[in-house]
């Protein structure tokens, strides 16, 4: 093995260690924070997925350099195909994380006005006008329905994220076994 091949192998393994671990942790912990409705953490995990997902491309590129055009070996072709499938699924996970964060932000923004649905001058005047009370009640009902709908959609994203994260982790493990077994 030449020095350049050793350097490529070190970079390939280094990228695999330092990108796949955090990437898998970020994707697999996202559903927990969607359930807790922690928008800040979901946004951070989305950013982490994007950054480490781009870093994971380094694994693939250094692996291509190591293959030196010798794609006739079945295990190498299978590994590369599984890696591309995992990256495609990762794009779906990133999209779902972004969508869930947006929906959670909407739900949080819509819950705040519902808590302040009472007219501030109503307490001073002794009683609110019938029209104002009815409008406030309708606004509160509409806001509650929208927040529930937004939270429900985020729950759909949470389920899909959990499933896809598990599949991606399994694909990384299959690739690892192929690399160790045949490398």
pLDDT mean across residues, the chain = 83
Counting every residue, how long is the chain? Answer: 183
Distance CA 51, CA 134 (A): 49
pLDDT tens, position by position, 26-81: 999 999 999 999 999 999 999 999 999 999 999 999 988 888 877 788 989 999 99
Given a cut of 90, whether residue 102 has pLDDT beyond it is: yes
Return the closest-CA partner of residue 28 out of 12, 13, 48: 48
Given a cut of 60, whether residue 9 has pLDDT beyond it is: yes
**36 CB burial (10 A radius; 0-12, 13-18, 19+):** exposed
Task: Label residue 134 by pLDDT band (50, 70, 90).
Answer: low
Distance CA 157, CA 101 (A): 10
Look up the pTM and report it. Answer: 0.75
């Amino acid at each position: 093995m030449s020095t350049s091949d050793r350097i490529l192998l070190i970079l390939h393994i280094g990228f695999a260690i330092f990108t796949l671990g955090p990437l898998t942790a970020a994707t697999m912990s996202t559903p927990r924070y969607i359930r807790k409705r922690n928008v800040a953490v979901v946004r951070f995990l989305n950013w982490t997925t994007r950054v480490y997902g781009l870093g994971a491309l380094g694994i693939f590129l250094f692996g291509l350099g190591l293959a030196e055009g010798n794609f006739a070996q079945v295990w190498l072709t299978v590994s590369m195909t599984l890696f591309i499938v995992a990256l495609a699924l990762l794009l779906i996970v990133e999209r779902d994380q972004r969508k869930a964060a947006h929906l959670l932000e909407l739900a949080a923004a819509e819950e705040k006005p519902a808590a302040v649905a009472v007219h501030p001058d109503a307490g001073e005047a002794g009683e609110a006008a019938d029209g104002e009370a009815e409008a406030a009640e309708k606004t509160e009902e509409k806001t509650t329905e929208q927040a529930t709908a937004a939270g429900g959609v985020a729950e759909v994203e949470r389920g899909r994220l959990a499933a896809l994260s598990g599949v991606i982790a399994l694909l990384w493990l299959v690739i690892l076994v192929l690399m160790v077994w045949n490398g």
